[in-house]
Amino acid sequence: MAYKVVKQNDGDLSLGNLRGELVNLQPAVSDYQPGGYLIEGVSGTTENAGNIGLGKVLFVIPVGGQGDLNPVWNPATSKLQIFIDSAMVEAPPTSNFASYSFALLVGGTG
């Protein structure tokens, strides 16, 4: 999967004992896999770990609208799933979301 997670400038937040990062998830062409895009902190093992800058990801909140796409973070799998329209059906494999940039607030520790 060739998607990127990039921190936004001045996107650091302090939430008491928690830290937050505003990031953009930019999919590549036809890279969506069932279950979604992996988002982990630096204690995880993913190519995106250093981009988020948190030790452990506790929550991901989509910021802004994406038309008929509904990004939902699954804490059990640490993946951002993409659901289509109000029927909330997960996007099919190899869906092309390259024209979308998902703005996310990622909260966690460390």
Question: Are the CB atoms for 54 and 19 separated by under 8 Å?
Answer: yes
Query: Domains in the chain, start-ordered, CATH in brackets?
Result: 4-109 (2.60.40)
Mean pLDDT of 93-99: 86
- What angle is formed at CA 57 by the lines to CA 40 and CA 26, rounded to 5 degrees? 50
**Cα–Cα dist 34/3, whole Å:** 14
- pLDDT digit string (tens) for 42-78? 655 444 444 567 778 888 999 877 778 889 999 898 8
pTM higher than 0.75 for the full model?
A: yes
SS3 (DSSP) at 79: strand
